[in-house]
Every structure is written in C-alpha cells, then in structure tokens.
Chains A and B, each alone.
Chain A
C-alpha cells in the first residue's frame, strides 16, 4: 500500500529517533510530564475526581503536545538543511512529496509510540472502576489526530527555516493559536474588529474544539475532515517550500 521509497525512508527516519538520546529524552519527558500532571495533587487530579475515566489525562494532552510536537518536528527539515544533507537526499531518486510524507509519517509514528507508552493509565482505570473503553479509545484517536495536525504545522515551519530554534518557536506559536482558536477570550478579542462570519471561520480552525468533540466520545465526519485537511494542507505547504528552497 505504501510506496516502497516512502517505506524505506519512513523506516530510516523512524529508526533515527532511537539512534540518538534525543528521542528517548522526548519520550521520557512526555511520559513523566503527562503522568505527573494527571496525578498532580489538586482538585482536578485523577485521584481527587475518583472517576474511572481518562478525562484528567486527556485534558493535559494538548498542552504537552504544544511543546513535544515542535520539539519533534523542528529537526525534520531544518536539520537536513543546516547539515546540507537535503541536497544529498534530493539527488537520490526520491521526490519531495515522498520525502515529506515519509518524514511526517515517521514523526507521527514516534508520537504514536509516546502515546502508547501511556498504557498503564488504561490498566489503572480498568483496575479501579468501570470505564467506558469506547470513549478511552476515541480519546487516544483524538490525541493521535491532533498530533498529526500539529506535526504537519511543525514540518511546514521546519521547511521554512534552517534554524531549529526559530522553527520550534514558530510552531509553538501557531500551535498555540490553533489550540486556542475556539476559546472565548480569543474569540471575544477577535470579534471586536472582525464580523461574525470571520469569527466563525476562525473558530472552525480550533484544534481543541475538534479534539474535545472526539474525546467526549463522538466521532464525526467533520472532525475527520478537519484533521485530514489540516494535515494535507500543511504538508502541501511544506512541499511548496521545499521545492522553492531547492532552487536556492
């Protein structure tokens, strides 16, 4: 099903995450962080809520992703461009489309591994009570979709600049905007100078709204459409940028 070149590139990229300590550091920080936040002492804490659901866990996923995803995506292209290996890569019989897809899928799979590392949480709720496993499954699906969308954004900014730090900061900013797009303070602010239609348009870009909608237990075609369009468009943007930069 997957193009052979894409498959090879994907394998190479995916394994590269585990060849340097950086990949392990990202995984450990993410897993420790999400575990700590879920069980953090306080009124929203998992044990305080005493509910066999993963709402306390999924609540923090967007905020953990806000930093994890840019950290993972910043090196997708910036690194290659800085080291000059992108020229080497593009001289090989690999199209930009294949390279972009393979790198994106590899980083997405890496995030998938990070999410899979939270499996003790499922054991916890199953042991303690009677959870709705359908909702838990959708929570993970929503997290995975969101990771895909933010990775595509990160890939775009990584293709835009040679500097990893700039790529990281730009991705954090845009991801934050996309996460907060549906929040009342932002919408209130925007509605002071934009007509309602444009406010609605802006709100529809909210990653968090779609994430919440799936995480609550309802999977709608509009959610799938949203994440598909987001991923496709940002990846397409990356391809345009890389094509342009190839000439430079």
Chain B
C-alpha cells in the first residue's frame, strides 16, 4: 500500500516537473527565437525597411518607448472600438521589431491606463489624445519616446487609417528624439513668398486705405510653426546654416546665386524645388505674358540632377480634371488645366511624401522627365493616372478650355509631376564662376583679374532633391480657402508641401523608409454591383427629373397660349397632363425602387450563396459520403459474412467467425 502511495507521489512529481520544464522551455525558447521570423504578408507589413534599421543602428543611448493603449476600455467598448485591438497588435509587433533591431538601446513598455491611476495622469501630461468613452473610462492609443536627457516626443494617437505610414511615423519619432533641435529652412524664390510681415493692425489700415498689402504665403507661415524659416536673398553669394532649401519658381537668379545653390547641394544640402511652365500666382509680370520656370540658368542645374521640366508642356488627365471656370462670365465646366490628384496618383509610388494624400489640386502642372545619372536614383512620387497625357499649349490657347481639350488625347502611361532624386550629384559649375572683384581690390591684386572660388565638383555626401512641376498648388489661392475664422486648409496641397520639407529635413535613411502601401482588399464584385445600381438609380432619377421639367415647360407653354376664350379648355388640358405626369412619375418611381431592390437583392443573393456554400455544401458532401461509405462497408461486411459462414459450415468454426465480424 505504502509503495502504491509513493508511486503516485512520484507520478505527480513527474507531471509537475514536466509542466514546469515545459513552461521554462517555452519561455526561454520564445525569448531567444523571437527574432527569427518570416513575414508572409504581401505588403511586408512586419518587416522593417533598410532606412529604419540604419537609423536604429545609429542609436548609442537608451530610449524608452511607452505604448499607451487602453485595452481594457477597448474590450468594454463597442465593436468598432474593439477593432482597434487589431491595430494595437500591429503597432506592438512593429515596435517589438524596433526593439529587436536596436542593440538593446530601445525598451518597450506597454501601459493600459486605467481611470484615476498615475498611468492615466502620465498619459494626459504627455499630451496623448484622449477619448471619453464613459464618465470615468478614457481611451488612449499613443506612444511616448523618451531619451536619457529627458527629451520627449510623442505620437498622440495611432490612426488605423494611416497604417501604411506607421513605420515612417515611428522611425521619425525616434529620429526626432535623437535630433531634437529645430531645423532651419531657407526659402528662395522669384515670387514674394516671404515678405516682412506687418502687424495685422497695420495691414488692416493699409487695406482700408486701398493699398496692396504683400503678405507672406500661408505655407511659409505654416512652416514657421515647425521650423526656423529664413528668406534667402535672390542674389545670395552663398547659402549656409540651412538644413533644407526651398526653391520656388526659380527664374532670373544671377549666376552667383545658382552657383551658391549648386555648392549648397554639393555640401550635402537638400533641395525642395517648385518649377512651373505657367505660374498663375506670379502677377508681377506684364499682363498677357506667361510666367514660367525654370529659366535657362536653372535648367543648367537641373540638367546635372537628371531632371528635366519641359517648357510649354503640361500634364493633363481627363479623369482627374477639376470643375471650374477661367473667369466669372464663363459657365463652370471640366478644366484640363485643373488636375485634382487622388490616391490613384500616389498609391503606386508608396512614398511617404504623398502617401495617404487624396486631394491635391494642381494648376497647369508641367511634365517632369528624368535621365540616368551615375549614383543618383530618381523615384516618381506623384503623377497622373495611366490615362493621363502631356499636351503642348501656346500662350493664346491657355485661357481657352475647349482648345486645351482639343489638344488632349488619352495616354497609356502616367505623366509624372513630382520626382524625388537621391544620391551624389555632380556640380553644374565644375570650374567655378568668375567673380568680379572691386576695382580697388583689383589694383591690390593686379596679377589676378578674376578670382575663382573654391569649388566642390561632386557631392561630398548623399543628398536629396524633391521637384514638383507646379508652383500654384502651394499658393494661398489654391491651397487655402477663406472662412469666417480666417484662412483654412482647402485640400492636401499644404500637406504635400509640409511632408516634402519634413522628409528632406530628416536623415537620408528616414527618407528611404517607404510607405507600406495599401492594397485594396474590399469586395470588388460587390462594389461593382453597387456602382452599377447607383448608376442606374442616377439614370432613373435623371429621367424623373427630366419628365418633371418637360411637364413644367408644357404647362408654361399652355399658360402662354391661355386667353379668355380657351382658358377652361387649357385648364382641363393642364389637369390631364398633370395626371399623365403623375402616372408616369409613379411608374418611374416604381422602376427606381425596382432598380434599387435589384442591386440590393443581387448583393444579398451573393451573400446568401456564399453563406450556404460555406455552411452547407461541404457538410452535405460529408453526409453523402458517410452514407455511401457505410453502405459500401455494410455490403462488404455482408459479403464477408456469407463467405465466412460458408467457411464455418465446412470447417465448423462458425462461432469464432461471427465474433470477428462483430
């Protein structure tokens, strides 16, 4: 008995030890092998890009990442809120990748801030976005990055709609923690983009006096909120102390300025360039003359970058053309000159500058082409759809919408209006420029009539240039709208501008962090049916409205014919027509309901078909197979039984055989 008890104890001990060792093995193995993984997703959602890895490799001091996610609150919330759990898992997984690639410099803490706890207070102090779910329950989903010296940067809220940009956001956050100082942006332009700002009071007085008040462009004011912005003189000899140089409508720059820009680039400076074959925002020139850029001087620079902007050539797209008018007397219509870019223009390129942009309005955008330059990589960032094309138009045709449409034909390839070029560039002034020296100095240095500047013939390090073939899209007229609260953003134009500056101001590695891209996984078949139904509905509605208009016209005509003699007859006629119309409208409305119902029923039919297919089809096959198989088996068994019974009769072993069959 005692031996039995000991044996049982031993067994229990074995099982407990086995469970413990299993737990430890799993724990240790999971920790060690976590890094070895294969990402099977089409978009490589869980794989960090080279740029991110490169930035992480530069980390040399610890950074704490605190991911705030109100998981408990989300689980208590609505179905919609619970859907955020999936995005949280994605963010968490990606952050773990960051930690895994940081050589232990990043640490991740996941915090579920419950109401009235220090964690919740911290989340509020950090400035994370909060959503009140109930009186007490608050929802947070943000990230705080903190370095040793106390620099904090946050992502106040993770928007699931920006899933494709998540890696860029996270890498940027880490980059800004590493480089917290405000960056310097220089703006050089042939237009009055930055003026000496008057006080609002003075500006108001000047306006009241009927004077023109030159104000800085809104985009330069917006830029000032995030960066130190300074205006670079059009005749600058040298450009320094600037992280990114914004060049708007480059024309008429003297050679020394072009040389300064060239040398700035050679030193590793970054350029954001806006050229335009027709800048409607430039009102400085003579009436009737068109203002275009780049001029010959600047073209020389662009040639060295491998980017060409064609003169008098414009990008158009029938399917992206906007509705507008050239002057108030014209009826509004589709204008080829207005290019309203949506996600079709950007999705293919998966670039962080344009990713997620779905409404950017360009005005007479030009066409950019590139040529191969050793060590330079050109990537398009925005274009027309593949049905877009380029067209050449002369000055006198530009204000005539129908003339432009006549020149346009549908293309088969996208026309690029924004390029990003990264690499080591060659100087457009390899021999420098000749510099005039003051006469008195000339006397002192009589041996030298000219003096050559020290010239960098090639970029000392990798640099980047972003070029757009439109200037107007960042002007106040097309990027902003007036509201009673002041100017407000009208579309995504200013976002494209700010994204470009942001991308250029960061590290080259940060620029190479691509957007993951979005692959449309919606039900195409259903969408198609819905679109078809919508189209047919719209046609029916149009038909009904047309009938009503025709009836009104007929009534009006009758009214005009009316006189004392025939008024009674016409009244009867009117009533008869009204009844006819009512009948016709009733029939059309019935048809409209039918069309709507047909579409709905078609979708519901598909839904039901797949529901039955997935719930009943295979089970029915299995039942059928089961019945068939069991019948076959029973027939087989019966056959065997007969054979075996015959055998048993001869061999007299019937009892054993029956047992076997059972």
Measuring CB to CB, which residues of chain A are less than 8 angstroms from any residue of chain B? 18-19, 21, 24, 27-28, 31-32, 35-36, 38-39, 42-44, 47, 50-53, 55, 117-121, 123-124, 127-132, 134-135, 137-138, 184-185, 188, 200-202, 204-205, 212-213, 216-222, 224-226, 229-230, 233-234, 236-237, 240-241, 244
A218 with B618: CB separation less than 8 A:
no
Stretch at the interface among B120-128, B256-264, B509-517, B608-616: B608-616
- Closest chain-A Cβ to B105's Cβ sits at a distance in Å of 22
Q: Using known A-B contacts A50-B526, A129-B524, determine if residue A43 contacts B79 with beta carbons closer than 8 Å.
A: yes
Q: Please, which residues of chain A bring their CB within 8 A of the CB of B46?
A: 216-218
A131 CA / B19 CA spacing, docked (Å): 40
Contacting A at CB under 8 A, from B601-649, are 606-607, 610-611, 613-619, 622-623, 626, 629-630, 633
B15 with A184: CB separation less than 8 A:
no
A188 CA / B41 CA spacing, docked (Å): 32
A188 nearest CB neighbor, chain B only: B72
Q: Please, which residues of chain A bring their CB within 8 A of the CB of B614?
A: 35, 38-39, 118, 120-121, 124
Q: Please, which residues of chain B bring their CB within 8 A of the CB of A38?
A: 614
Interface of A: prevailing SS = helix
A222 with B34: CB separation less than 8 A:
yes
Q: Which of B26, B616, B622 contacts A27, CB < 8 Å? A: B622
A156 nearest CB neighbor, chain B only: B15
A28 CA / B14 CA spacing, docked (Å): 39
Count of B interface residues, CB-CB < 8 Å: 64
Given A129-B521, A129-B522, A184-B72, 15 more pairs with CB closer than 8 A: A39-B614, A47-B610, A52-B522, A120-B610, A120-B613, A129-B520, A132-B41, A134-B41, A184-B112, A217-B40, A218-B46, A219-B38, A220-B33, A221-B37, A234-B22
B521 with A219: CB separation less than 8 A:
no
B15 with A240: CB separation less than 8 A:
yes
- Closest chain-B Cβ to A133's Cβ sits at a distance in Å of 8
A123 nearest CB neighbor, chain B only: B613
Most A Cβ at <10 Å: residue of B90, B615, B623: B615
A130 with B519: CB separation less than 8 A:
yes
- Closest chain-B Cβ to A183's Cβ sits at a distance in Å of 9
* B420 close to chain A: CB less than 8 A: no
A129 CA / B525 CA spacing, docked (Å): 7
Q: Please, which residues of chain B bring their CB within 8 A of the CB of A201?
A: 23-24, 27
Q: Using known A-B contacts A184-B72, A219-B40, determine if residue A229 contacts B525 with beta carbons closer than 8 Å.
A: no
Q: Please, which residues of chain B bring their CB within 8 A of the CB of A39?
A: 607, 610-611, 614-615
Most A Cβ at <10 Å: residue of B24, B26, B33: B26
Q: Please, which residues of chain B bring their CB within 8 A of the CB of A24?
A: 622-623, 626
A21 CA / B80 CA spacing, docked (Å): 42
A101 CA / B616 CA spacing, docked (Å): 33
- Closest chain-B Cβ to A216's Cβ sits at a distance in Å of 7
* B1 close to chain A: CB less than 8 A: no
A-B contact pairs, 7 of them (CB 8 A): A24-B623, A52-B521, A52-B522, A188-B72, A204-B30, A205-B26, A216-B90
B37 nearest CB neighbor, chain A only: A220
B37 with A218: CB separation less than 8 A:
yes
A218 with B40: CB separation less than 8 A:
yes
Q: Please, which residues of chain B bring their CB within 8 A of the CB of A51?
A: 521-523
* B375 close to chain A: CB less than 8 A: no
Q: Mark B493-519, 1 if CB is under 8 A from A, else 0.
A: 000000000000000000000000001
Q: Please, which residues of chain A bring their CB within 8 A of the CB of B619?
A: 27-28, 31-32
Q: Please, which residues of chain A bring their CB within 8 A of the CB of B521?
A: 51-53, 129-132
A212 nearest CB neighbor, chain B only: B89
A44 CA / B37 CA spacing, docked (Å): 30
Q: Please, which residues of chain B bring their CB within 8 A of the CB of A21?
A: 626, 630
A43 nearest CB neighbor, chain B only: B79
Most B Cβ at <10 Å: residue of A51, A213, A225: A225
Q: Using known A-B contacts A201-B27, A204-B23, A225-B29, determine if residue A128 contacts B523 with beta carbons closer than 8 Å.
A: yes
A128 with B27: CB separation less than 8 A:
no
A180 CA / B616 CA spacing, docked (Å): 30
Q: Mark B523-558, 1 if CB is under 8 A from A, else 0.
A: 111100000000000000000000000000000000
* B237 close to chain A: CB less than 8 A: no
B525 with A128: CB separation less than 8 A:
yes
A123 CA / B614 CA spacing, docked (Å): 10
Q: Which of A32, A47, A134 contacts B40, CB < 8 Å? A: A134
Q: Which of A120, A129, A217 contacts B41, CB < 8 Å? A: A217
A202 CA / B47 CA spacing, docked (Å): 28
A217 nearest CB neighbor, chain B only: B41
Q: Please, which residues of chain A bring their CB within 8 A of the CB of B180?
A: none
B613 with A217: CB separation less than 8 A:
no
* B172 close to chain A: CB less than 8 A: no
Q: Using known A-B contacts A137-B40, A216-B89, A240-B11, determine if residue A184 contacts B30 with beta carbons closer than 8 Å.
A: no
A229 with B11: CB separation less than 8 A:
no
B627 nearest CB neighbor, chain A only: A24
* B490 close to chain A: CB less than 8 A: no
Q: Using known A-B contacts A31-B618, A222-B33, A240-B15, determine if residue A129 contacts B27 with beta carbons closer than 8 Å.
A: no
A135 with B23: CB separation less than 8 A:
no
- Closest chain-B Cβ to A81's Cβ sits at a distance in Å of 16
Most A Cβ at <10 Å: residue of B21, B23, B42, B614: B614
A222 CA / B34 CA spacing, docked (Å): 5
Q: Please, which residues of chain A bring their CB within 8 A of the CB of B45?
A: 217
* B36 close to chain A: CB less than 8 A: yes
